[in-house]
Amino acid sequence: MEERKNNAFNGAYSILSSEMRDLYPSIEILDSPPNPVTFLRKFVSQNRPVVIKNAINHWPGLTRWSEEYFRKKIGEFQVTVAVTPNGYADAISNGRFVMPEERKMAMSEFLDILFKPTQDKKGVFYIQKQNSNLKDEFSCLMEDVDAHISWGTEAFGAEPDAVNFWMGDERAVTSMHRDHYENLYCVVSGQKVFTLLPPTDLPFIPYESCPSAVYKETNEQFEVVDVENLDSIDDCSSEVSWIAIDPLEPDLEKYPQYSLAQPHTVTVNEGEMLYLPSLWFHHVQQSHGCIAVNYWYDMDFDIKWAYYKFLEKAVSYH
């Protein structure tokens, strides 16, 4: 009887995994944007990702946005750039959760670093500040895109909480994580590759608790500085629980349970949009100089959330 109970989790997780494999075998691609009803019924309600083509064809940004256009239009503007030695911002490295160095610079300097690299410039630079930066530091570019995705806004019942602008080095990687948002992610130039895992794969995804730290470049050398030694960052927790696995090179000896996870690899090309549902784990790579805009809409905290919290609690006993 005790033995049966001990095996309960594993048996239940394998049902969850096999149901999801059957119900979400692949990521659908739509040739045109769905209407709000179809989007809600087939995707949002079902927490099901989808790639949508021809949804942003009318954006001026799709033809305008280029190095030259940015130099002319916003070259002098100060922008916030995440800098790391290796492209990994917000990721576990040598037992620490390491955040990027945030650096302010003129957009033209960022473009020089990205497109005219010199030997003496160390590090990987990525514009990735997710505080609705498109409406803030890049507000001049708002005329080149939509302020919101109309059918998305109608479906979600409110305007987006944040609109973010992304641009950077091909070495810049977003490590696996999940957000409490419904996400409409649009690639304006270049290509992004998403590795997606459903929320139900949580039991197979290893988290580690680490002291948090930030990169800091001094004399062209990157140091890792623990947050607890920093006066300037007082809104960060000094300990962070983060996903320890790299889905591109999973260490299955250390984390054998990850072999049961079911990653979907989705390429989002120029002019395409990904609906990335709330709570889906995602890891993102990009082509060099890729430019993207994403819309974060509030998620509904409903039965799916309650089930997720249940899973989280069950997993915490392992």
Q: Looking at beta carbons only, is 115 or 301 nearer to a copy of itself?
A: 301
Shortest Cβ 281–a copy of itself spacing (Å) = 13
Shortest Cβ 159–a copy of itself spacing (Å) = 15
Q: Looking at beta carbons only, is 228 or 312 nearer to a copy of itself?
A: 312
Binding stretches for a copy of itself (CB under 8 A): 2, 4-9, 11-13, 15-16, 19-20, 23-24, 36-38, 40-42, 44-48, 154-157, 198-200, 300-307, 309-314, 317-318
Q: Looking at beta carbons only, is 166 or 181 nearer to a copy of itself?
A: 181
What span, in angstroms and rounded, lies between the C-alpha atoms of 163 and 165? 7
Q: Looking at beta carbons only, is 165 or 295 nearer to a copy of itself?
A: 295
Q: What is the largest CA-CA distance in the chain?
A: 72
Shortest Cβ 154–a copy of itself spacing (Å) = 6
Q: Which amino acid would we find at residue 102?
A: E
Shortest Cβ 129–a copy of itself spacing (Å) = 30
Shortest Cβ 54–a copy of itself spacing (Å) = 22
Q: Beta strands 173-177 and 88-89: pairing type? A: parallel
Shortest Cβ 6–a copy of itself spacing (Å) = 5
Q: Looking at beta carbons only, is 46 or 191 nearer to a copy of itself?
A: 46
Q: Looking at beta carbons only, is 24 or 275 nearer to a copy of itself?
A: 24
Q: Looking at beta carbons only, is 134 or 149 nearer to a copy of itself?
A: 149
Shortest Cβ 157–a copy of itself spacing (Å) = 5
